Structure 1
Amino acid sequence: MLYSIGLLYLPVSTYTLICASQLGFNALFSFFLNSQKFTPFIVNSLVLLTISSALLVFQNDSSSGSTKVSKAKNAIGFVCTVGASAGYAFMLSATQLAFKKILKSQTFRVVLDMIIYQSLVATFVIVIGLFLSGEWKTLGKEMDHFEMGKVSYVMNLVWTAISWQVFSIGAVGLIFEVSSLFSNVISILGLPIVPVLAVFLFHDRMDGVKVMAMLLAIWGFVSYVYQHYLDDLESKVRNENVNGVSEVNVSFVGNENVNGVSEVSLVGRG
């Protein structure tokens, strides 16, 4: 809802730039709530992904701000967009905290339960707002006036709902398997790629800004993945060292037992 209000009152360029700040909010919340460790590769990734998203401002300027709004509404849009970015980042970090401290289960069912409960709460709040505002009365008229027809209207709603659920499963699944920050990195990675896909799907004009944004996003993503590779390598070395020490201890204890038995046998024979 906050994102929608922000998009209603702000130019697309400003809105996109503020939305890119959610990665910074997520990093802040992850540090305090999830004990996220920041290495040079992770910081480099966050900076590059934020810059790549901010670059979209320049290619969106031509389509932004077709309607003028008052300064008061502009301020409301700014506050709502910042609140939405911070709120989404906090939700991701809180979800990771819930997995570790409350749910403590390693099953896919837990991921589905988390998505279902969050969606039920959101749906309940939105349905109440729909009826209290009286907008439910205009749904039929809205469908009739849809330029592409009623079938397209319904298909739009259905596939948007399905797409968001698939996104939710992926986002929460990444939080469950890796971290909330990694999940947000994947989400931000998609922002610069969308305009590039629009070139092939909708024949939009390709420019240097889109290419630069995509390359920076990929560079930032690779940097983050490389850090995970280093962490995984370090974890394997640590496990090998622990296993090696355990085998040495077992061997040492075994030799002590054998020597003890031999000594007892010798004493008995004497």
Structure 2
Amino acid sequence: MTLLKFSTSYPNTPSVNIQTPPKASKSEAPAAQEAPAGSPEAKNWKWWFVVAADAFFLIVGQTSATLLGRYYYSQGGNSKWLSAFVQTAGFPILFFGLFFFPSKSSSGETPIGKITMIYVVLGLIMTADDMMYSHGLMYLSVSTFSLICASQLAFNVIFSYVLNSQKLTGLIMNSVVLLTLSALLLGVNHESYGPAGVSRGKYLLGFLLTLGASGTYSLILSLMQLTFENVIKKQTFSAVLNMQIYTALVATFAALVGLFASGEWKDLKGEMDRFQSGQFSYLMTLVWTAVSWQVASIGMVGLIFEVSSLFSNVIGTFALPIVPLFGVMVFHDKMNGVKIIAMLISIWGFASYVYQQYLDVK
């Protein structure tokens, strides 16, 4: 089985060992030019296909989940704990991955107590991250929310440098500066109010919480990478799935506790009755939000396994130009001049980072 490598290069791309063969006769030359099914070229195309499929799942799942989350609030939903709950509640879907890629026992298994503690800590951090995202999505328009979320790439670079010894280059630093500038433009823009009825104070709170959520998400990815390198030391697809499943399990349970402890559960029946598009739409919005987050999770896990956690974050940021456009079409978000400039700066920063990835691969 292919091993997981946490680096910015493409570790699973098959390498070619060039050797000087004996001189072939003219009759043997045509046969030598044909690429068999198991050749490095065929494996390379297969690897790119898998990476493209994982990227598609991540982008579609993340975009759908963000739009459905905003739709929940726009139609009368108001429970932030429920919104946090559905972000991880669909984790049982990932058990299908364990069914097809079962884990193999080895003599160097991580002590159960130690790995359980890691899952609990990461799961609780994930719960805090989900709550910050829920507040941000409630107080911000979906276009502003997605643009601020692009800052997670800059946070990821910082945490990867501190915790994972990530190499910093001029292009990467350029990306960090541009993405930070884009977020600052939205923060000081007096015209970037949130949805109708959201005050300036709540807009600023949503901005800060979304920024905090982006940084926390990047911290989670770096901590996961650090755990694999120094604790689990078993970089297989099943190990990555286990990490995703059990941290999501803890986060889901913590969100459920918060839902009941806060008393928000008492208003869920009334919230469903007041939902503008109907009770069935209310249930379907929650169900498909949970499914969408897990589709994105499958893509994220696949990219972590095939490439790296940092590259997975890069692809997640690729949805940046997509979500604001849907926000304008579906929710009639206003795209003023500052938002357009922030989007262009963010795309420029993203392109700088992608070009650095291209140079690393080359």
- State the TM-score, normalizing by the size of structure 1: 0.68
Corresponding residue for residue 231 of structure 1: 360
CA deviation after TM superposition for structure 1 residue 176, in Å:
3.7
From the superposition, tell whether residues 20 and 224 of structure 1 become closer, same or farther in structure 2 (CA, over 3 Å): closer
From the superposition, tell whether residues 143 and 60 of structure 1 become closer, same or farther in structure 2 (CA, over 3 Å): farther
CA deviation after TM superposition for structure 1 residue 59, in Å:
10
CA deviation after TM superposition for structure 1 residue 187, in Å:
2.7
What does 1:104-123 correspond to in 2, within 5 Å? 104-123=233-252
* 1:222-263 C-alpha deviation (Å, 9 max, x unpaired): 332332232233xxxxxxxxxxxxxxxxxxxxxxxxxxxxxx
8 A contact 2:142–2:327 mirrored in 1? no
Corresponding residue for residue 243 of structure 1: none
Q: Which amino acid aligns with 2:160?
A: S
Structure 2 residue 287 is matched with structure 1 residue 158: yes
Corresponding residue for residue 41 of structure 1: 171
8 A contact 1:42–1:227 mirrored in 2? yes
Structure 2 residue 153 is matched with structure 1 residue 23: yes
- State the TM-score, normalizing by the size of structure 2: 0.52
Structure 2 residue 223 is matched with structure 1 residue 61: no
Compare 132-141 and 6-15 and name the one that shifted more.
Answer: 6-15
* 1:15-40 C-alpha deviation (Å, 9 max, x unpaired): 77765543333222111111000111
* 1:80-109 C-alpha deviation (Å, 9 max, x unpaired): 445433322211111111222233334322
SS in 2 for 1:229: helix
Which of 271, 281, 284 is 1:142 aligned to?
A: 271
Q: How many residues align?
A: 231
CA deviation after TM superposition for structure 1 residue 8, in Å:
5.3
Corresponding residue for residue 219 of structure 2: 90
What does 1:68-87 correspond to in 2, within 5 Å? 68=199, 80-87=209-216
CA distance in 1 between partners of 2:230 and 2:193 (Å): 47
Compare 59-68 and 8-17 and name the one that shifted more.
Answer: 8-17
Which of these two proteins has the greater Rg computed from alpha carbons? Answer: 1
8 A contact 2:152–2:215 mirrored in 1? yes
CA deviation after TM superposition for structure 1 residue 177, in Å:
3.6
Structure 2 residue 253 is matched with structure 1 residue 124: yes
Q: Which amino acid aligns with 1:138?
A: D
From the superposition, tell whether residues 41 and 77 of structure 1 become closer, same or farther in structure 2 (CA, over 3 Å): closer
From the superposition, tell whether residues 199 and 74 of structure 1 become closer, same or farther in structure 2 (CA, over 3 Å): closer
CA distance in 2 between partners of 1:78 and 1:207 (Å): 17
SS in 1 for 2:320: helix
Structure 2 residue 162 is matched with structure 1 residue 32: yes
CA distance in 1 between partners of 2:155 and 2:192 (Å): 25
Corresponding residue for residue 132 of structure 2: 2
CA distance in 1 between partners of 2:152 and 2:312 (Å): 12
SS in 2 for 1:143: helix
What does 1:129-208 correspond to in 2, within 5 Å? 129-199=258-328
CA distance in 1 between partners of 2:322 and 2:197 (Å): 25
8 A contact 1:12–1:65 mirrored in 2? no
CA distance in 2 between partners of 1:62 and 1:80 (Å): 15
8 A contact 1:196–1:210 mirrored in 2? no
8 A contact 1:46–1:220 mirrored in 2? yes
CA distance in 1 between partners of 2:209 and 2:335 (Å): 31
Unpaired runs of at least 5, structure 1: 234-270
Compare 29-38 and 61-70 and name the one that shifted more.
Answer: 61-70
Q: Which amino acid aligns with 1:98?
A: T
* 1:175-202 C-alpha deviation (Å, 9 max, x unpaired): 3443333333333332333112445666
8 A contact 1:111–1:169 mirrored in 2? no
* 1:1-54 C-alpha deviation (Å, 9 max, x unpaired): 123345556798987776554333322211111100011122223333444555
Identical pairs, percent: 59
CA distance in 2 between partners of 1:27 and 1:56 (Å): 21
The structure in which a higher percent of residues are helix is: 1
